[in-house]
Amino acid sequence: MANDAPAVEITDLVKEFKTTMRGRPLRAVDQVSLRIMPGEVYGLIGPNGSGKSTTMKALLGLLAPTAGSCKIFGRDSIKVDSRQDVGFLPENPYFYKHLTGGETLRFYGRLCGLGGSVLRERIEVLLELVDLKDARDRRVGGYSKGMLQRIGLAQAMIQHPRLVILDEPTAGVDPVGSREIRDLVLKLRDQGITVFLCSHLLEQVQEVCDRVGIIFAGKLIREGKLEELIAIEDQTEVVIRHADSALVSRIEEIIQSSDGAELVQTGKPRTTLERLFLKEIKRDHQS
Amino acid sequence: MSESTPTPAFKASHASRMVTLSLHAFTQLVRMKVFYFLAVFAVIVIGSNFFDMAQHQGPESVGANVLRNIKSWSLGAMALFAVVISIVATALLLPRDIEDRTLYTVLAKPVPRIDYLVGRLMGVLLLVFVSLAVMDLLMVAALHLRTGMVMEMQEKMAVGRGWPEEAIQSLKQETLASGVNWQLQAAVLAIFLKVAVMAAICLSVSTFSTSTLFTTVVSFLIFFIGHFQADALDFYLKGVEAGTSTFSQYLALGFSLFIPNFQLFNVVDGLVQNQPITLLMVGKLVMMACYYVLLYTLLAWWIFSDKEV
Ligand SMILES: Nc1ncnc2c1ncn2[C@@H]1O[C@H](COP(=O)(O)OP(=O)(O)OP(=O)(O)O)[C@@H](O)[C@H]1O
Ligand SMILES: [Mg+2]
């Protein structure tokens, strides 16, 4: 197996669903092609029902493509062994309610061929990583949404996969939790693990992804490096603390007198709601 | 963190994955508290002790009814419970995995679909096996105790009536023979084989159905057809002219290739009447069960391999 094979290679993927007996089939994914190189963090963004989850399921061989093909590290998704190197977190994950957190990880680890002390240590590490040590002996049926998401992440990473596919990893998770998930994704990237995630929370995608693709109504309409997509090349931002009105008007004068430059806007930058929320919580914790 | 260690390639064998999946299914079913039914079974076994019609004849008939009752009630209840458990449990597993979307998480791991199916089937069979073993134990214990009591009574009565020693001994032998013996175990094995076939049929039904209810209903339907197929064919064969009998024989054969004749597994009735089960019969049943389990597992695989989850 060539080591420089793309982690993900989707070629002209089409997926149609039969809707009714006679009606026209629904085209959920339409001629999507994308390629993710090893070590990249790729974000697929798009509104509800645009075909993000369908693309991921086809990539994992859970759905058979109507046309086109999907490959993981050069191996066709239809083949079972293509899944050796992948971890998957489904959207709104749901696990076996009768198992505890620890048993859940053991079950998935065994399916991947882990066992004995290797598996035990791995479970320890992962429970620590997703902060579920206290809940390891509780049944997953009683987990909250955020906890399910985290046990799902741990489950996805159980066999040290080289590619992790996350379908809306932060859905239903509070800002602190989603920040932790973001940090986890960054940590994965530092270890050279490829991450393919999708979301409709643009801000979060912006924070972690190297490249993004925008999917709409089943079509990949835009794709590229994040900075290239969002930078406004002809503008510059200056943020000043304690500026009085005299200083501001002097700056405005300078801009007006210089050739070709134009003032687009002044005003107070607003903190994002997310930042405010996190700051307030931290303050609350400290007091 | 130990995260950065080079990743070794793990690979599970088919067998180990199947074992993992079957133990998982077994745990799931046990934690649904299916074993509570064993309490009901215990009540039936104990109850069957009291269905002794008062008889005031010779020592030879004292208690014979009790022993027969214990056997027929216990084996009957075992057959019933085993079939219900296997159908309901099998019908529960796959549709529930699809409904809860837990199937994604399993199939997103390197798990071939045949491993998943066989693992589930083995889990149900393990459950049935354990249930049957416990019930068997209860039955044997009850029968053993009761046989001892019956023999004591018979001896007392026979001595009281001045029977010769020889006659008493042979009566004892006879009573022992209708107590605990290997024939009973063969009957339990026959129940297990029948239920294994039923579980495999139910598994293949569940691969194309979408609900537990549908799977359960269809499986029970097949179960009843399997019981009456022999009678129905008999009836049909008697109705046709002698000339077309080869055709109808082929028809019967073709039918039995797919629908097992469950009547053949009912060795219990004969056993209760003290008709012996031969090794040949057991061998035939084992072969038949293997054939149908294999057939229906392959059918399930064939349907499931293209299924979109
Ligand atoms: N199994 C299915 N049968 C029929 N239609 C389906 C099926 N799965 C998905 N679809 C349809 O395909 C389209 C894309 O669905 P998909 O789940 O991929 O969207 P998504 O981008 O993940 O949306 P969301 O952000 O809501 O998760 C939708 O119109 C959906 O109704
Ligand atoms: Mg989705």
* Residues 6 or more apart in contact with residue B252 via CB below 8 angstroms: B233, B237
The A-side interface with B (CB below 8 A) comprises: 57, 60-64, 80-81, 83-84, 86, 88, 90, 92-96, 98-99, 107-108, 110-115, 121, 125, 152, 155, 159-160, 162, 187, 191
Compute the distance between CA of residue B291 and CA of residue B285 in angstroms, rounded to an integer.
10
Whole-angstrom distance, CA of residue B277 vs CA of residue B234: 24
> Which one of B3, B21, B109 makes the best mutation probe of the A interface by having the most chain A beta carbons within 10 Å?
B109
**Single-letter residue type at B242:** A
Confidence of residue A204 (pLDDT cuts 50, 70, 90): confident
- b/e per residue, A216-255, with b = 16+ CB within 10 A? eebbbeebeebeeeeeeeeeeeeeeeeeeeeeeeeeeeee
Ligand 1 contacts CB of residue A54 (under 6 A): yes
How do the domains of chain A map onto residue ranges?
A: 1-85+165-177+186-231, 92-160, 245-286
Which residues are B240's β-sheet partners?
Answer: none
Using a CB-CB distance cutoff of 8 angstroms, which residues of chain A are in contact with residue B20? 107, 110-111
Whether B127 has its CB under 8 Å from any CB of chain A: the answer is no
> Which parts of chain A fold into alpha helices (H)?
52-59, 101-111, 116-129, 145-156, 175-190, 202-208, 226-230, 245-257, 273-286
CA distance A64 to A59: 9
The pair of three-digit structure tokens given for residue A130, joined into one six-digit string: 């997703």
Which residue has a Cα nearest atom 29 of ligand 1? Answer: A49
What b/e readout covers A31-69, taking b as 16+ CB neighbours within 10 angstroms?
ebebebebbbbbbbbbeeebbbbbbbbbbbbbbebbebe
Q: Does B102 touch chain A (CB under 8 A)?
A: yes
- B3 has pLDDT over 50: no
pLDDT digits (tens, 9 = 90+) for B210-245: 788 999 999 999 999 888 877 776 666 666 555 556
- Does the beta carbon of A46 lie inside 6 Å of ligand 1? yes
Across the interface, do A99 and B27 touch by the CB < 8 Å criterion? yes
Q: Which CATH superfamily is domain A1-85+165-177+186-231 in?
A: P-loop containing nucleotide triphosphate hydrolases (3.40.50.300)
- Contact state of A108 with B109 under an 8 Å Cβ cutoff: yes
Please work out, in degrees rounded to the nearest 5, the angle formed at the alpha carbon of residue A148 by the alpha carbons of A143 and A152: 145
**Angle between the N-to-C axes of helices A145-156 and A175-190, in degrees from 0 to 180, rounded to the nearest 10:** 10
Q: CA-CA distances (angstroms) from residue B60 to B4, B56, B152?
A: 80, 11, 12
A53 lines ligand 1 (CB under 6 A): yes
Output the pLDDT for position B54.
Answer: 53
Quote the minimal CA–CA distance from B7 to chain A in Å.
Answer: 6
What are A42-74's pLDDT values in tens digits?
A: 999 888 888 999 999 999 999 999 999 999 998
Q: pLDDT digit string (tens) for B270-279?
A: 766 667 778 8
Predicted ipTM?
Answer: 0.83
pLDDT > 90 fraction of chain B, expressed in percent and rounded: 37
C-alpha distances out from residue A128 to A51, A123, A135, B219, B297, Å: 34, 8, 11, 46, 41
* Closest residue in A to B98 (Cα–Cα): A94
Contact by Cβ (8 Å): B260, B288: yes
